[in-house]
Amino acid sequence: MKRIILIGYMGAGKTTVGKALAKELGIPFYDLDWYIENRRRKTVSEIFAEVGEEGFRQIEHNMLHEVAEFEDVIISCGGGTPCFFDNIDYMNGQGQVVYLKASPEVLYKHLLMGKGERPLLKGKSKEELITFIREQLEKREPYYNKARYTVDVSLMDNYDKIKITIEKLRELLEL
């Protein structure tokens, strides 16, 4: 039974890599944010607006316990998932957890485009964004570093490089 759980900061490419790996292995892919949105029939931004971050973290925690029971799946989590409650320890007990690691500069580049859809980044200027990423990543890395595996994805910015990342993952996880 395979259960692979991808973690890492926003913009690291968890969803992109997860989808591609699931396709290659021919197993289902679950993105925790999408799962939450489906189950609650609301976007993550709407949930943040209605119940705040604290409410969202509780929902995220509960939903993690649902998806992490599925078998033969790839799961990608939200950037904050491993950093609340005992989520990271739970994940380590449930599957092969992989930290997709990238530098603040790379994350910043990826996030410049998608920051509008992410409640934690909305409305930040470019300067505020890079500072926020640096500071938050530093706080989150102790949790991310608890993953059993780490793959550096700093160079993953085109299709070939995604393929290389998938190859690295297959080797590392013996898939």
CA atoms within 13 A of residue 48's CA, in its CB half-sphere: 11
Q: Could you say which of 5, 25, 30, 80 contacts ligand S3P (CB under 6 A)?
A: 80
DSSP-based three-state secondary structure for 122? coil
Q: Could you say which of 20, 33, 64, 165 contacts ligand S3P (CB under 6 A)?
A: 33
Q: In terms of C-beta distances under 8 Å and separation of at least 24 residues, what long-range contacts does 158-163 make, across chains too?
A: 162/13, 162/16, 162/17, 162/20, 163/20
For residue 46, what are its two tokens? 């709407």
* Stretch in the footprint of ligand S3P (CB under 6 A) among 19-27, 91-99, 113-121, 122-130: 113-121
For residue 79, what are its two tokens? 């950037």
Q: Which of 15, 18, 49 is nearest to 33 (CA)?
A: 15
Interface with ligand S3P, residue 91, by CB under 6 A? no
Q: Which is nearer to ligand S3P, 10 or 25 (CB)?
A: 10
Tell me how many residues contact ligand S3P (CB under 6 A).
10
Interface with ligand S3P, residue 51, by CB under 6 A? no
Q: Could you say which of 5, 10, 75, 162 contacts ligand S3P (CB under 6 A)?
A: 10
Interface with ligand S3P, residue 17, by CB under 6 A? no
Q: Could you say which of 22, 118, 137, 153 contacts ligand S3P (CB under 6 A)?
A: 118
Interface with ligand S3P, residue 57, by CB under 6 A? no
Alpha helices in the chain, H assignment, sequence order:
14-25, 32-40, 44-67, 87-94, 104-114, 126-144, 159-172
Positions in the binding site for ligand S3P (CB under 6 A): 10, 14, 33, 44, 78-80, 118-120
